[in-house]
Amino acid sequence: MEPSVVPALPPLVPGTLYLVATPIGNLEDITLRALRVLRECDVVAAEDTRHTGQLLKHFGITKPLLSYFKFNEARRSTEFVERLRRGEKIALVTDAGSPGISDPGGRVVAAAVAAGCRVEPVPGACALIAGLTASGLPTDEFHFVGFLPHKSGQRANRLASLVAVPGTLVFYESPFRIERLVAELMVAFPARRVVLARELSKKFEEWLRGTPAELAAQLAARPRKGEFVVCVGPAEGDGPAVPDEAG
């Protein structure tokens, strides 16, 4: 019996911006496709070239690195579009997760699309999806909030505007403001189920579940380290309707 022939993978398309998701902690979460794009692209656009340089080194990849971040993204977008028009293949990455999800990348993508350049996602790890799917809360409808504003008044107004939003709410929060957020949830959503997911995919991954008041007590008794994904369940009665099988 002759061995099966593995078909050759198609080469990367010139003039394409590849949005490459990278691990949010566990390096095993890198995909085979992401590794191939990083190996075959012409240049890697990185939120932090030092961080991405370590990632590439771990996988034995050597590529030119260009930095882009919140304060130079608009200017860099023009340069990236010019490179794409010359036929270069650009892999866009952030420090962790999917580019553009509470990370830089959105402006670059918008500029590339507006210029008629090809944009291709290379899916992979995303803290939002990891936290939501394992939270045990409804996933049929959800609203991603990301990070709340820093100012107290703006935070309170934003939370108040979300009270009537159906489905599960998903926030990102730093370890330095997690107690503050839980205290704010005690005011805005006192009776809802809340899940705190910390250090997702890492050695000390942890899940805390309860009402805001219950979580406040738990946080007071443990160290607060690592980024959090915070999932707030819908109000009672806001879940999906159950079909009446007897009808």
- Domain 128-232 matching CATH 3.30.950.10: the answer reads yes
Q: Which helix (H) or strand (E) holds 16?
A: strand 16-20
Cα distance between residue 171 and residue 195, in whole Å: 10
Torsion, Cα of 64, 38, 44, 88 (10° steps): 90
Determine the pLDDT at residue 247: 38
Torsion, Cα of 41, 47, 49, 51 (10° steps): -110
The answer, as to whether pTM is greater than 0.95, is no
Alpha helices in 30-169 (DSSP H): 32-40, 49-58, 73-85, 106-114, 127-133, 152-162
Cα distance between residue 76 and residue 189, in whole Å: 41
Better-scored residue on pLDDT, 4 or 16: 16
Instruction: Note whether 21 and 128 are within 8 A (CB).
Output: no
In CATH terms, 16-125 corresponds, of 1.10.3720.10, 3.40.1010.10, 3.65.10.10, 3.20.20.80, to: 3.40.1010.10
- List, for residues 95-140, the tens digit of each pLDDT value: 999 999 998 899 999 999 999 999 999 999 999 999 999 999 999 9
Instruction: Note whether 40 and 91 are within 8 A (CB).
Output: no
- List, for residues 38-74, the tens digit of each pLDDT value: 999 999 999 999 999 999 999 999 999 999 988 888 8
- List, for residues 152-208, the tens digit of each pLDDT value: 999 999 999 999 999 999 999 999 999 999 999 999 999 999 999 999 999 999 999
Cα distance between residue 240 and residue 141, in whole Å: 9
Determine the pLDDT at residue 6: 58
Better-scored residue on pLDDT, 162 or 237: 162
Cα distance between residue 191 and residue 50, in whole Å: 44
Determine the pLDDT at residue 1: 57
- pLDDT of 241 > 80? The answer is no
Determine the pLDDT at residue 225: 81
Domain positions in the chain are: 16-125, 128-232
